[in-house]
Each structure stands twice: as structure tokens, then as C-alpha cells.
């Protein structure tokens, strides 16, 4: 049947490898499923025996306790097997779900930064929370239904063949018809389920954006626009859900009709056999009971097509994410703390999928402890250049050296240990103040935390918080002001105490008074550290060792603040425009 094809086999192969550590429980679950299946033939057998021997002269030979005891024993055994199967499959599926989610989360932590240019956060969240669950549900349902009901069908068919092979052959004629009906629906179901998952990802993205941009939505009166977006996606999702339901629901009556035709034909032939005294009432009832019992697992197997196709569609997304190649990391750890000498040697770079180069033949040597300020109009290449230092991206040509060693020859973890970064887009975690300051350090040093707090001028802030450093700051630090969030990011960089410092508009969110205080702390922090500073406010970089002016990905001017003003070039024009007032 269409439930089994190359893609399905490949998915189940991967899932089987994932549950290999739990294979003993899997075999026990299969054994209890076999036990459940075996009970299906027992009750019709008892019923047939009663009809043949309980209502005639042989009735006195049957002990009164035998039949009730047999029935109770059958259903007690069945109950134990069913409970054990359910428990074991839930245990296995929850372990597998945790395993899948852990693999996805590990992968999204280690994919290249460029991955996030093509993938929305809504899709990633949906894949971890919903699509992984769909796969596990598919596995759980398929194993408890596909294996158990397949075993039940085989046991019942064996009993039917043993009881009356001629009638069984007649009944089996309708099986290809049922298989054909299920096959016809499967391909459409797969496409519908994939489309439904895509729209679900889009809906998640709309919700995520609406919660993240709540202030912007209110200020610009975007409630109606966002509501319309949500309703459009929601209605589209409902449409796919209805089409999927129709496709699944149409399978059941068609397969039941085919099964009913088979039962009707069998009964007709059975009556004919009874008229010829070739069967007894007990055998006839036993055979028909077995056939009727066969309908239930066949129906469940037909209905399995829906969740199987949903699971297969989800598996495509989940395994595509898991199979995404991680960042290339073939280098070795640095033997000691870096001195901080950086060299860009004929470095060119373009973003994936873009022909125009963001950086063109950059040649720049930065001595240990030197502060280089990068200035220029937006899109000039300043952020692109600093993003190459921690290897968020890899140059298309040329090389970048740290203390004479190519960055490609340094392991990512070792390289990034040497770098601290403060961006204009502050990222904080829904955790305590101390955890954000000492982020990445499992055992924060209280003295270093206190020093970072003082240097970033957060002492008064910490004192006013209800639980001091142990205060939860909320989603992205929502309980702090913009300036406090920026200073917290600076404190995090101070705590790391790395030899290379990247400041991307690090004081942009501060008021004048806070900026002066933090700038003093930054000046002290930058002493002895190689520092790359991006700043649009030129007043913050006047004391930089050198200033590099980038235009269209090229360094067109280089020198001190005074030298560049004397040259009367691009930097001098930018400075004049800013201070014209």
C-alpha cells in the first residue's frame, strides 16, 4: 500500500536508528502487541464452541465455570497487554521527542549565521515544538496501529484460512481494491500536509512578530493590519485542514463499503455451504465473527494514512533542519591568550546569494592594543568587516590573520574566546542580571561581576532592583530601560575580559550623561585591547588610534582624527555635516 514507499522507509530507518538504545523496550512492546492480536481470535472461538456444544446434548458435559472463566481470562490478558504497550510506546516516544528536539536545537546553535537570512524564527520554533511532535506521534501511532493491527489482521486471516479457506479467498479479493483506494489518497495527503505545515510556520511567524513588535504596532496603528494578516493565514490554514480532512474522511467510507461487499458475498456463500451441510452454525458464527473483527483493524490501517502523511511531511522539515551543515570548524585551539594583532590581507567578501561584494580587497593591519574606528555611510561595509573577525562569515578571497595565524586554522571556540562584542542591537536573556553579565560562565566570579557592574555604571541600578543581581530582567531585558540594557551589554563584555573588543554603536542608546560615564569605562576597558569601533557619532571616536573610512566596501581613507580633518576628504565632510549645527 502507499503507506510504504522509499521516503517512508528512509524516515523509519532514521527513526529506528534513533530508538536503537531503547530496542529492548521496543521488542517488549511488539511482544505485547502480538499478545493483544492473539486475543482477537479467542472470543469468536469460544462463541463458536458454545453454539456447537452448549445448546445440544453435549451441553451437560461443559462445566459451568469454563466459559465465563475463559472470557474473563481473555480480556484480563488483553488489558494487561494493551496497558503495557501504551506505557512502553509513550516512554519510547517521549524519549525520542526529547532527542529530536535536542538535535534540532543543537543544530540551530551551530549553523552558519547566513542560515538565519533565509529561515524565519517562526519556522524554526514551529519545527522544534510542532513538527517534531508530529513525527513522534506518527511513530507512536504507526507502531501501535500498523504493527498491532497488522499482526491482528495476520492472526485473524490465519484463523479464517484454517476455519474455511474457500470463504477466506473470496473475502481477500476485495483487499487490492482497498489498497488502491488508500494509494489514490496518499499523494494528495502528502502535498496537503506539507502545505499545511508551511502555512502553520507562516502563522507562527505572524504571532511571533506581533508579540515582539507590540509597541511599534500600537504607535503606528497597525492592529488592523496585523489582525488581517493573522486572519488571512488562519483562514488559509483552516482551508488546508478542511481539504486534508475531506481527503482522509473519504477513505474510510470507501474502504468500509469494499469490506461490506466482501462480508455480504461471504455470507451468501456461507449460507450456500450451510444448505449443503458442509458447515455448522457455530463454525459459521465463528467465521463471520472473525470477519467482522477483521474490519476494525483494517479500518484503523486505512485511517492511518492521514497521520502517516502528516508525520512524513513534518519529517521532511525536521530532517532538513537537522541535516543543515554546521559551521566549518577544522582549526586548532590557540596555545595561549591572543595578543590581538589582526591583519586583513586582500580580503574580499560577498553575502550568500548576492553578486555585489560587500568588501573589496581590504588590506588592514591592526597592532595589539590599537583602536581602529570604522566610519562611513550605511552599507559601506563596516559591519561586514567586523563580522569576519569572529568568523560569522568566511571571506571569498584573501585571508585574515590573528597573531600571524589564519583564522581558518583556529577553532571557532578558541577564536571566539578571544573576542567580546557590544552591538547597538542589545540581546539579553530572560534570566537574572548576574547570569546575563557572566553569560557563558557556568560559575560566575563574584569579584569580576562586581567590577563589571561598577565599570559599566550599573551600581545604582543593581541597588534599586528588588533582588539585586539575582533579579530576573524579563524577555530581552524588558524590565530595564534602554540605557540600562546597553550598559548591561557593556558589563557583559567587560566581564569576559577578551583581548579583542568589537563595539558596534555601543553607546547609541545612552543619554548624554550616561554616555560620558560609560565612555570613560570603555576607554579604560579598551586599554591593552585590540578594539574595532563602529560609530556614526564621530565625537565618540576622535581618540581612536586610527580611523578607517569605508565606502562601497573599500577603505578610501585611513589616519588619525586630526590627519583626516586636515586632508579634507570624505571623513572631513562627514564631520562637517554632523557638527554644522
DSSP string, 358-383: SEEEEEEEE-TT-EEEEE-STTSSHH
Superfamily the domain 1-164+307-327 falls into: ABC transporter type 1, transmembrane domain (1.20.1560.10)
Indicate the SS3 state at residue 549.
Answer: strand
| Contact between 19 and 204 (Cβ < 8 Å) | no
**Grid cell for residue 328:** 566549518
**Mean of pLDDT over the chain:** 81
Please check the confidence at residue 190 and state whether its pLDDT lies above 70: no
Residue 436's contacts (CB-CB under 8 Å, 6 or more residues apart) are 428, 429, 473, 477, 488, 492
Ranges 39-48, 56-65, 357-366: which has the least confidence: 56-65
Superfamily of domain 342-580 in the CATH hierarchy? P-loop containing nucleotide triphosphate hydrolases (3.40.50.300)
Q: How, if at all, do strands 371-375 and 546-551 pair?
A: parallel
CA within 13 Å, CB half, 251 = 26
C-alpha cell at 524: 579604560
What are the structural domain ranges in the chain?
1-164+307-327, 165-278, 342-580
At a CB cut-off of 8 Å and minimum separation 6, what does 468 contact? 433, 462
Q: List, for residues 131-184, the tens digit of each pLDDT value.
A: 888 888 888 877 777 777 777 777 777 776 776 666 667 666 666 666 666 666
| Single pTM value for the model | 0.74
DSSP state letters, 236-288: HHHHHHHHHHHHHHHHHHHHHHHHHHHHHHHHHHHHHHHHTTSS-HHHHHHHH
Bigger pLDDT: 417 or 213? 417
The burial of 110, by beta-carbon neighbours within 10 Å (0-12 exposed, 13-18 middle, 19 or more buried), is given as: middle
Please tell me the least confidently modeled range out of 146-155, 208-217, 276-285, 410-419: 276-285
Q: How many CA atoms lie within 13 A of 502 on its CB side?
A: 19
CA distance 72 to 27: 27
CB atoms within 10 A of CB 528: 11
Calpha distance 401→340 (Å, rounded) = 10
Q: What is the CA radius of gyration of the chain?
A: 35
- Cell of residue 426, nine digits: 542589545
Angle, CA of 224, 226 and 232, to the nearest 5°: 100
**What SS3 class is residue 306?**
helix
What cell was used for 353?
546569494
Torsion of CA 267, 273, 278, 283, to 10 degrees: 10
Distance in angstroms (rounded) separating the CA atoms of residues 555 and 375: 10
For residue 154, how far is the Cα from the chain centroid? 38
For residues 312-331, average pLDDT:
86
C-alpha torsion angle, residues 154, 157, 161, 164 (rounded to 10)? 160
Better pLDDT: 363 or 69: 363
pLDDT score recorded for residue 118: 78
Strand duo 342-349 + 397-402: pairing: antiparallel
Q: Tens digits of per-residue pLDDT, 502-526?
A: 998 877 656 666 677 667 767 777 7
- Residue 537 vs residues 376, 482, 542, 543: alpha-carbon distances, Å: 11, 18, 10, 13
Of 425-429, 461-465, 544-548, the poorest mean pLDDT is in: 425-429
* φ/ψ of residue 522, rounded to 5: -65, -40
Q: Residue 352: what pLDDT? A: 84
Q: What DSSP string describes 313-361? A: HHHHHHHHHHTS-------B--SS-----EEEEEEEE--TT--S-SEEE
Q: Identify whether the C-beta of residue 371 lies closer than 8 Å to the C-beta of residue 526.
A: yes
pLDDT in tens, 363-396: 999 999 999 999 988 889 999 999 999 999 999 9
Cell of residue 567, nine digits: 586632508
Cβ atoms of residues 66 and 118 within 8 Å: no
The three-state secondary structure class of 531 is strand
Least confident of 15-29, 53-67, 267-281: 53-67
Cβ(508)–Cβ(486) below 8 Å: yes
Diameter of the chain measured on Cα atoms: 124
Report the chain's terminal Cα–Cα distance, integer Å: 78
What are the backbone dihedrals phi and psi of residue 514, each rounded to the nearest 5 degrees, phi first?
-65, -40
Among the listed residues 107, 102, 105, 94, the one whose alpha carbon sits nearest the alpha carbon of residue 133 = 94
Cβ 458 vs Cβ 435: under 8 Å:
no
Residue-level pLDDT at 55: 55
Task: Pick from 30-44, 207-221, 309-323 the range whose average pLDDT is largest.
Answer: 309-323
Cα separation of 317 and 304, whole Å?
21
Amino acid at each position: 500500500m502507499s503507506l510504504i514507499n522509499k521516503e517512508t522507509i528512509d524516515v523509519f530507518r532514521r527513526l529506528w536508528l534513533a530508538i536503537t538504545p531503547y530496542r529492548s523496550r521496543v521488542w517488549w512492546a511488539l511482544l505485547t502487541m502480538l499478545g493483544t492480536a492473539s486475543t482477537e481470535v479467542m472470543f469468536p472461538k469460544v462463541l463458536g464452541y458454545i453454539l456447537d456444544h452448549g445448546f445440544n446434548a453435549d451441553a451437560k458435559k461443559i462445566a459451568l465455570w469454563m466459559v465465563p472463566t475463559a472470557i474473563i481470562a481473555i480480556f484480563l490478558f488483553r488489558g494487561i497487554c494493551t496497558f503495557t504497550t501504551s506505557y512502553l510506546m509513550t516512554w519510547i516516544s517521549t524519549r525520542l521527542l526529547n532527542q529530536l528536539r535536542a538535535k534540532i536545537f543543537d543544530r540551530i546553535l551551530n549553523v552558519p549565521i547566513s542560515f538565519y537570512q533565509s529561515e524565519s524564527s517562526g519556522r524554526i520554533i514551529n519545527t522544534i515544538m510542532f513538527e517534531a511532535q508530529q513525527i513522534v506521534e506518527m511513530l507512536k501511532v504507526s507502531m501501535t496501529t500498523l504493527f498491532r493491527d497488522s499482526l491482528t489482521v495476520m492472526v485473524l486471516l490465519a484463523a479464517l484460512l484454517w476455519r474455511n479457506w474457500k470463504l477466506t479467498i473470496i473475502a481477500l479479493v476485495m483487499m487490492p481494491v482497498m489498497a488502491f483506494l488508500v494509494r489514490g489518497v496518499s499523494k494528495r495527503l502528502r502535498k496537503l500536509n506539507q502545505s499545511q505545515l508551511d502555512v502553520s510556520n507562516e502563522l507562527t511567524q505572524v504571532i511571533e512578530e506581533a508579540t515582539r513588535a507590540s509597541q511599534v504596532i500600537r504607535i503606528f496603528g497597525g492592529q488592523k493590519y496585523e489582525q488581517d494578516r493573522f486572519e488571512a493565514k488562519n483562514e488559509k490554514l483552516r482551508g488546508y485542514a478542511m481539504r486534508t480532512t475531506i481527503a482522509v474522511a473519504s477513505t474510510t467510507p470507501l474502504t468500509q463499503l469494499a469490506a461490506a461487499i466482501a462480508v455480504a458475498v461471504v455470507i451468501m456463500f456461507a449460507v450456500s455451504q450451510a444448505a449443503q451441510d458442509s458447515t455448522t452454525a457455530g463454525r459459521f458464527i465463528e467465521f463471520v465473527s472473525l470477519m467482522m473483527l477483521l474490519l476494525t483493524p483494517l479500518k484503523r490501517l486505512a485511517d492511518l494514512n492521514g497521520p502517516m502523511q502528516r508525520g512524513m511531511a513534518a519529517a521532511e522539515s525536521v530532517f532538513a533542519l537537522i541535516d543543515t551543515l554546521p559551521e566549518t570548524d577544522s582549526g586548532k585551539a590557540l596555545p595561549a591568550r591572543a595578543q590581538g594583532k589582526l591583519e586583513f590581507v586582500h580580503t574580499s567578501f560577498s553575502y550568500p546569494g548576492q553578486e555585489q561584494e560587500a568588501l573589496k580587497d581590504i588590506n588592514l593591519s591592526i597592532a595589539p592594543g590599537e583602536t581602529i574606528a570604522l566610519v562611513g555611510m550605511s552599507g559601506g561595509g563596516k559591519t561586514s568587516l567586523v563580522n569576519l573577525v569572529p568568523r560569522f562569515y568566511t571571506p571569498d578571497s584573501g585571508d585574515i590573520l590573528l597573531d600571524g595565524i589564519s583564522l581558518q586554522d583556529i577553532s571557532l571556540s578558541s577564536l571566539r574566546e578571544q573576542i567580546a562584542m557590544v552591538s547597538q542591537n542589545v540581546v539579553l536573556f530572560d534570566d537574572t542580571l548576574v547570569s546575563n553579565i557572566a553569560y557563558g560562565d557556568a560559575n560566575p566570579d563574584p569579584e569580576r561581576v562586581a567590577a563589571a557592574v561598577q565599570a559599566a555604571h550599573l551600581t545604582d541600578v543593581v541597588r534599586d532592583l528588588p533582588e539585586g543581581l539575582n533579579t530576573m530582567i524579563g524577555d530581552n531585558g524588558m524590565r530595564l530601560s534602554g540605557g540600562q540594557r546597553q550598559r548591561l551589554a557593556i558589563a557583559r563584555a567587560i566581564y569576559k575580559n577578551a583581548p579583542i573588543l568589537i563595539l558596534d554603536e555601543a553607546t547609541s542608546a545612552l543619554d548624554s550623561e550616561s554616555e560620558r560615564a560609560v565612555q570613560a569605562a570603555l576607554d579604560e576597558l579598551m586599554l591593552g585591547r585590540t578594539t574595532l569601533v563602529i560609530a556614526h557619532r564621530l565625537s565618540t571616536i576622535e581618540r581612536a588610534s586610527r580611523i578607517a573610512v569605508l565606502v562601497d566596501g573599500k577603505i578610501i581613507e585611513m589616519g588619525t582624527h586630526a590627519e583626516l580633518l586636515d586632508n579634507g576628504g570624505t571623513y572631513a565632510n562627514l564631520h562637517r555635516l554632523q557638527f554644522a549645527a
